[in-house]
């Protein structure tokens, strides 16, 4: 009987995995961290590359390419320390310090990145190159490019008759706190913690709440990203300081919550961190925006040191910012993605500033309007496809349209105009009371290669606008319409518009050239005559 009890105990030990204690093991070349939660990861001391990620004994890390900040730091000065329930690894270079933290009983690699200068390649990102044979499924099919043939550049491919790109995995920062990849019984998640007052994981990023960047690419490796800044449709200067915190969590498939308390970083002695106690709030009420947009109102804050945002409550129109670094900010009110008011606000440590904000958008009575002035091409032809397809994709509707009539509605009007593809003509009728001197408005959300609209009605051609501020990125072929919102207006003199039907033709003006969808172009926001 005693033998049987002993045998049962031995079998139970064999059947149940034994977790090692929370630990960091140092060798001449590596640090190995056991989180006591089924996750054991290895960091190379010389380079700061993560070379092994074992979750429940299964290798999550690709073994041909490793995980790291940027494209790898090359050579670093590495050290480690234990602070309470945390092991902190510090990898220092002359302009960048990468922190890698193991937290007791959490199957995650916690990260933060401190910079004093932009990497020479102009991209600040963490890329986890994971094991594709285990983590087989990308976050979005349009980012699975393995085995594809090149369509454009080195980042848009044709796979099984569909255009795909890592850019098509992107989501606006304001909606991108958690994204992941998965396989049978395993998942990996990039988490940028933040809800409510703790929503400051993107504070050192660049581009504002609707900026978007790469989340994932399925190639020979399963690539999972957190992009802090890049040259991909960049509209403002890069920020330096402490980026994050952020972490990569491993589990069996459930999506982690973004509402994660990362305040433990305050105890870890990292460079550039501003504690909660040394931050302040902005609170207030929004007004002046049509009620149809109540669920799409955002208040943003930015200066050279930080950026933040919050959605206003759709019922009360009140808002409270995340806890912000002290300083003076440009406060921006967005109707959907259109800036309709800016004002200055100053934040002080440990206090709350009240700053109400009202839309200053001009809303003249229009004769006709196509689309909505909201800073997006939503509702236009192909706008529902452009985020996950190249304009050349066979699933796109034809970009060359017959003459557009107002009765067709915005869904028949192309969201973008490409110089090498053609012009767009709009046929409309006016009554005798509607003719005379009028104003034509064409608003755009982004442009490429200096593209901007030039209208013609009969014998009149509007003046060519000045070239827009250049953005060194392909833009719409990479799945984004976010650039500089620009509203162009032309005064149409009396005698040009006539009673009855006439045709407005819009062309792309630019001193540059290109072919097809890489020719100068712009994306429509909306058009109106008033």
Distance CA 198, CA 177 (A): 12
Nearest to 381 by CA among 408, 348, 354: 408
Q: List phi, psi (to 5°) of 269.
A: 55, 60
* Angle (CA) 111 117 122, round 5°: 85
Q: Give the residue extent of every domain in the chain.
A: 21-267, 368-529
Residue 473, pLDDT score: 87
What SS3 class is residue 27? coil
Number of C-beta neighbours around residue 111 at 10 A: 22
Residue 120, pLDDT score: 82
Cβ within 8 Å of residue 237, ≥6 positions away = 206, 304
Burial 322-335 (b: 16+ CB within 10 A, else e): bbbbbbebebbbbb
Residue 3, pLDDT score: 37
Nearest to 447 by CA among 410, 487, 411: 487
- The side-by-side arrangement of strands in the sheet containing 452-457 is 404-405, 424-430, 500-509, 452-457, 460-461
Match 């399963």 to its residue by tokens: 222
Distance CA 38, CA 106 (A): 9
* Angle (CA) 198 214 279, round 5°: 20
Residue 333, pLDDT score: 98
What SS3 class is residue 66? coil
* Angle (CA) 196 202 208, round 5°: 100
Nearest to 173 by CA among 236, 129, 111: 236
Nearest to 473 by CA among 167, 232, 236: 232
User: Yes or no: is domain 21-267 CATH 2.70.98.10?
Assistant: yes
Residue 14, pLDDT score: 36
Q: Reduced to 3 DSSP states, what percent helix, strand and coil does the chain have, rounded to the nearest 5?
A: 10, 40, 45
Please, are residues 180 and 225 in contact by the beta-carbon 8 Å criterion? no
Residue 194, pLDDT score: 83
Q: pLDDT tens digit string along 418-470?
A: 999 999 999 999 999 999 999 999 999 999 999 999 999 999 999 999 999 99
DSSP string for residues in 318-386: EEEPPPB-SEEEEEEEEETTEEEEEEEEEE-TT-EEE--EE-----PPPSEEES--SSS-TTSBTTTTT
DSSP letter at 174?
G
Q: Which residues of the chain have pLDDT under 50?
A: 1-18
CATH topology of domain 368-529: Jelly Rolls (2.60.120)
Please state whether beta strands 416-418 and 486-492 pair in parallel, antiparallel, or not at all (unpaired).
unpaired
């Amino acid at each position: 009987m005693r033998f049987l009890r002993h045998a049962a105990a031995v079998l139970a030990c064999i059947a149940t995995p034994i977790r090692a204690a929370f630990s960091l093991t140092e060798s001449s070349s590596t640090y190995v961290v056991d989180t006591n939660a089924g996750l054991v990861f290895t960091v190379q001391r010389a380079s700061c590359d993560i070379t092994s990620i074992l979750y429940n004994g299964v290798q999550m890390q690709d073994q041909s390419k490793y995980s790291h900040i940027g494209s790898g730091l090359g050579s670093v000065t590495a050290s480690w320390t234990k602070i309470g329930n945390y092991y902190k690894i510090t990898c220092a270079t002359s302009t960048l310090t990468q922190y890698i933290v193991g937290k007791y009983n959490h199957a995650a690699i916690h990260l933060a990145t401190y910079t004093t200068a932009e990497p020479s390649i102009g991209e600040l990102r963490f890329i986890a190159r994971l094991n594709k044979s285990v983590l087989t499924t990308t976050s979005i099919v349009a980012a699975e490019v393995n085995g594809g043939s090149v369509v454009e550049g080195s980042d848009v491919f044709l796979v099984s008759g569909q255009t795909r790109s890592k850019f098509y995995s992107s989501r606006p920062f304001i909606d991108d706190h958690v994204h992941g990849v998965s396989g049978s019984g395993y998942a990996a998640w990039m988490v940028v913690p933040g809800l409510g007052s703790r929503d400051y994981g993107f504070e050192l990023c660049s581009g504002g709440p609707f900026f978007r960047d790469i989340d994932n690419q399925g190639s020979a490796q399963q690539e999972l990203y957190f992009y802090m800044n890049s040259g991909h449709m960049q509209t403002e200067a890069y920020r330096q300081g402490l980026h994050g915190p952020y972490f990569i969590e491993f589990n069996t498939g459930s999506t982690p919550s973004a509402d994660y308390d990362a305040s433990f970083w305050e105890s870890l002695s990292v460079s550039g961190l501003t504690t909660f106690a040394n931050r302040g709030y902005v609170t207030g009420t929004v007004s002046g925006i049509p009620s149809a947009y109540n669920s799409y109102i955002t208040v943003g804050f930015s200066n050279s040191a930080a950026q933040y945002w919050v959605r206003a409550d759709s019922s009360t129109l009140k808002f409270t910012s995340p806890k912000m670094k002290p300083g003076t900010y440009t406060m921006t009110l967005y109707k959907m993605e259109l800036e309709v008011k800016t004002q200055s606000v100053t934040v002080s440590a440990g206090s709350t500033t009240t700053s109400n904000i009202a839309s200053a958008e001009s809303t003249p009575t229009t004769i006709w309007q196509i689309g909505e002035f909201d800073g997006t091409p939503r509702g236009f032809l192909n706008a529902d496809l452009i985020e996950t397809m190249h304009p050349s994709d066979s699933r796109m509707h034809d970009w060359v349209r017959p003459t557009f009539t107002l009765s067709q509605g915005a869904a028949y009007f192309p969201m973008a105009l490409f110089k090498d593809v053609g012009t767009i003509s709009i046929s409309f009728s006016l009554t005798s009371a509607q003719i005379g001197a009028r104003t034509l408005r064409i608003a755009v959300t982004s442009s490429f290669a200096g593209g901007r609209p030039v209208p013609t009605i009969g014998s009149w051609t509007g003046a060519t606008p000045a070239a827009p501020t250049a953005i060194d990125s392909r833009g719409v072929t990479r799945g984004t319409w976010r650039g500089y919102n620009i509203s162009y207006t032309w005064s149409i003199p009396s005698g040009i518009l006539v009673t009855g039907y006439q045709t407005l033709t819009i062309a792309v003006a630019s001193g540059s050239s290109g072919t097809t969808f890489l020719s100068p172009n712009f994306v429509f926001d909306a058009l109106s005559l008033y």
